[in-house]
Amino acid sequence: MTMTRQPVTPSQDSAVAQDDALVVDGVSVRLGGREVLHDVRFSIKPGEFVGLIGSNGAGKTTLLRVILGLLPATAGKITVGGKQRGERGAGKGAAGVGYVPQKIQLDPDMPLRARDLVGLGLDGQRLGIPFPSRARRKLVDEMLRAVDAEHIGNARVGNLSGGEQQRILIAHALISRPGLLLLDEPLANLDIASEQEVVALLGRIAKEQRIAVLISAHEMNPLLPVMDRIVYMANGRAASGPTDQVVTGEVLSELYGHHVDVIHVHGRVLVVAGRGEGLDIPIEHSGAHADGV
Amino acid sequence: MGHPLRAIFEPGFFTSAPVHVALLAGGVVALVSGIVGTFTVMRGQSYAGHALGDISATGGSASFLIGISPLWGFAGTSVVAAGIMDMIGVRRPRGRDLATGIVRGAGLGLAALFLYWDTTRTSTTGAPVTILFGSIFTIGSSMIPVIAVFSLVAVGIVAVLYRPLLLSSVSTDLAVVRGVPVRIAGALCLAAIALAVSLSAITIGAILSTALLVGPAATALRLTSRPGLMLTWSAVIGVAATWLGVLLAYDSYYWPPTGRGWPVSFFVVVLILIFYLLAQFAGKNARESRNEEPACSQAS
């Protein structure tokens, strides 16, 4: 069974365009004898905003970790900014990738101002004591402004609200001017207002700075206004393409391996499992906060 | 020297050779502990630092049996223990605490045996007090170069790894993604902590060395949110507590009942506590006057 046929666009994905910010080409990952990712393939162009959608355990975090080089792929290859992962000259760590990890615990007892954390995104790996420079300060100020966080630059990061911390972490990830920004469930634990703020901010950054954004979420609706394309994951498999072509009963049923319906309600999307007999299990709610997240 | 100063500095304070050595060695050691302690507190390794101090007592007490300076014993065992602690389960906080606790228990057990031998087999009846609670006035000036080298190594490690350690204290994932070798950086940081506690073991004792490691840094944390300033404050507070402690201990020879001075360690630890409480109070007032809200909106 191939999950990557129509309406996914394999022709476009397999032809590795040199200007693609990210190409994931047939990536599979086995962990402890279990296949957690199976033949995942998609690509992202600079400036594109792509949602990586799926429920818990679908393989989203694993995929992000493989793209970052934190986890080796069992098969397939990943190309970031034209350089293949693991290739010579690809750089240490995840060069060229900005990353906002999931559920980061910023301790109030950590002596770090928001601007210090942003600055560490620039040179956190360097050795020696940093000398304060005007250029560095200017860059940090610019980045704080870009995420609407100038006013909290001098506050202790651990004392900021969830949404504010998320904006600071985005600034930390962006200050080294990566071509690709990965965010792992950045909307989890945010209230609705902060959620909308963060989504709007990311959409704006993708367009203005021509950065490819790949954002994982278990709920697609908050991302619909800014999402250019979707990578929908279930059971370690992925279908990718324009949202209206991927989020259909036919594609998702094949992905899940059982029948699901896709219902559109007031511009929001609801994915429901089952055929109506017995209990229907809603896979994804349109009420973003109904499940207490 | 005029009369008013007499009341503070008892006669002979500035001319006594042991006092000179105590001020110099104590000052350097406090500086190192303050700086390394900042990273200890930041990385949440206070318990590891505390355990390394206790474990250094093992080597310190053994040093009397083989006739070397306690500093070699302190440093030898705590650096080795740091290596062992790094090897067994440091990844998860709980595993780390368990590993630390087990190594610490074994070390203290050995120290009990060695101290027993010190007092029964050799004539060093003062060994338990010297090892556990320090003896800053009996540091030989010949040890100054060794103290200097250990200090340079400990401070050198955290100075070179300043940013990587800072970033990996925020999040290991963020550090790894930026290409920081977190494992090596963590092991080196633990070695620096081991050296710092061995150094303070000779001034205020193996058991109390943790006070000089964690106390000034914890105090500094209440005073600033900037990592660089925290380092400075921590070092200044440590040195101030040590120097004042030496002065008070010296003066205490003249306090009633006369003839017996009080231990320096006592004064240093009490001063650190007072500084901490003052900073806590000042920090709270500052927060209230700024009307700062505590961390919020972290639902679920």
pLDDT at B1 (0 to 100): 45
Q: Which residues of B touch A (CB under 8 A)?
A: 38, 41-42, 44, 159-164, 166-167, 169-171, 173-180, 220-221, 224-228, 230, 292-300
Assigned domain for B297 exists: no
On whether any CB of chain B is under 8 Å from the CB of A182, the answer is no
Assigned domain for B291 exists: no
Residue B19 has pLDDT above 70, yes or no: yes
Q: Do A162 and B220 touch (CB under 8 A)?
A: no
Q: Do A128 and B160 touch (CB under 8 A)?
A: yes
**Domain region containing B224:** 16-285
For residue A272, the distance in angstroms to the closest alpha carbon of chain B comes to: 25
pLDDT at B166 (0 to 100): 93
pLDDT at B90 (0 to 100): 55
Assigned domain for B20 exists: yes
Residue spans of the domains in chain A: they are 10-284
**pLDDT tens readout for residues A25-59:** 999 999 888 889 999 999 999 999 999 999 888 88
Q: Do A116 and B42 touch (CB under 8 A)?
A: no
pLDDT at A11 (0 to 100): 41
pLDDT at A3 (0 to 100): 45
What HEC string does chain B produce? CCHHHHCCCCCCCCCCHHHHHHHHHHHHHHHHHHHHHHHHHHCCCHHHHHHHHHHHHHHHHHHHHHCCCHHHHHHHHHHHHHHHHHHCCCCCHHHHHHHHHHHHHHHHHHHHHHHHHHHHHCCCCCHHHHHHHCCHHHCCHHHHHHHHHHHHHHHHHHHHCHHHHHHHHHCHHHHHHCCCCHHHHHHHHHHHHHHHHHHHHHHHCCCCHHHHHHHHHHHHHHHCCCHHHHHHHHHHHHHHHHHHHHHHHHHHHHCCCCCCCCCHHHHHHHHHHHHHHHHHHHHHHHHHHCCCCCCCCCCC
Short-list A35, A38, A16, A36, CA closest to A26: A38
pLDDT at A282 (0 to 100): 58
If one compares A203 and A104, the residue with the highest pLDDT of the two is: A203
Assigned domain for B264 exists: yes
Q: Do A155 and B225 touch (CB under 8 A)?
A: yes
| Cα atoms found within 13 Å of the Cα of residue A120, Cβ hemisphere only | 32
User: What is the mean predicted confidence (pLDDT) over B247-274?
Assistant: 87
CB A242 within 8 A of CB A249: no
Q: Do A124 and B166 touch (CB under 8 A)?
A: yes
- Distance, CA of B221 to CA of B234 (rounded, Å): 8
Assigned domain for B296 exists: no
Q: Do B42 and A110 touch (CB under 8 A)?
A: yes
For residue B140, the distance in angstroms to the closest alpha carbon of chain A comes to: 34
pLDDT at A1 (0 to 100): 42
Pairing state between β A180-184 and A97-100: parallel
| Phi and psi, residue A84, nearest 5° | -80, 140
Range of A100-114, B90-104, B182-196, B276-290 with top mean pLDDT: B182-196
CB B118 within 8 A of CB B132: no
**Which residues of A fall within a CB distance of 8 Å from B42?**
110-111
Residue A72 has pLDDT above 70, yes or no: yes
Of chain A residues 119-148, which have a CB less than 8 A from chain B? 120-121, 123-130
Residue A18 has pLDDT above 80, yes or no: no
- Distance, CA of B212 to CA of B150 (rounded, Å): 16
Selecting from B163, B179, B225 the residue whose C-beta is nearest the C-beta of A130 gives B163
Q: Do B300 and A113 touch (CB under 8 A)?
A: no
On whether any CB of chain B is under 8 Å from the CB of A106, the answer is yes
Selecting from B41, B163, B225 the residue whose C-beta is nearest the C-beta of A120 gives B163
pLDDT at A4 (0 to 100): 43
pLDDT at A162 (0 to 100): 85
Q: Do B177 and A293 touch (CB under 8 A)?
A: no
Q: Do A159 and B294 touch (CB under 8 A)?
A: yes
For residue B219, the distance in angstroms to the closest alpha carbon of chain A comes to: 11
If one compares A104 and A22, the residue with the highest pLDDT of the two is: A22
**Which residues of B fall within a CB distance of 8 Å from A123?**
163
If one compares B255 and A77, the residue with the highest pLDDT of the two is: A77
**pLDDT tens readout for residues B50-105:** 999 999 999 999 998 888 888 999 999 999 999 888 887 556 667 778 878 888 89
Q: Is the ipTM of this complex over 0.85?
A: no
CATH number of A10-284: 3.40.50.300
pLDDT at A293 (0 to 100): 33
Burial class (CB in 10 A: 0-12, 13-18, 19+), B265: buried
Selecting from B44, B171, B221 the residue whose C-beta is nearest the C-beta of A111 gives B221
Quick one: tokens of B141?
Answer: 């000036």
- Distance, CA of B228 to CA of A130 (rounded, Å): 10
- Distance, CA of A222 to CA of A268 (rounded, Å): 9
Selecting from A92, A124, A159 the residue whose C-beta is nearest the C-beta of B164 gives A124
pLDDT at B89 (0 to 100): 59
Tell me which H or E stretch contains A119: helix A114-123
CATH of the domain at B209: 1.10.3470.10
On whether any CB of chain B is under 8 Å from the CB of A68, the answer is yes
Q: Do B164 and A130 touch (CB under 8 A)?
A: no
Number of structural domains (chain B) is 1
For residue B164, the distance in angstroms to the closest alpha carbon of chain A comes to: 5
Nearest residue on chain A to B160, judged by CA atoms? A128
If one compares B95 and B300, the residue with the highest pLDDT of the two is: B95
**A219 — alpha (psi -120 to 50), left (phi > 0) or beta?**
beta
On whether any CB of chain B is under 8 Å from the CB of A285, the answer is no
- Which residues have CB under 8 Å from B209's CB, separation 6+? B33, B53, B56, B197, B198, B200, B201
**pLDDT tens readout for residues A156-202:** 999 998 889 989 999 999 998 899 999 999 888 788 888 888 899 89
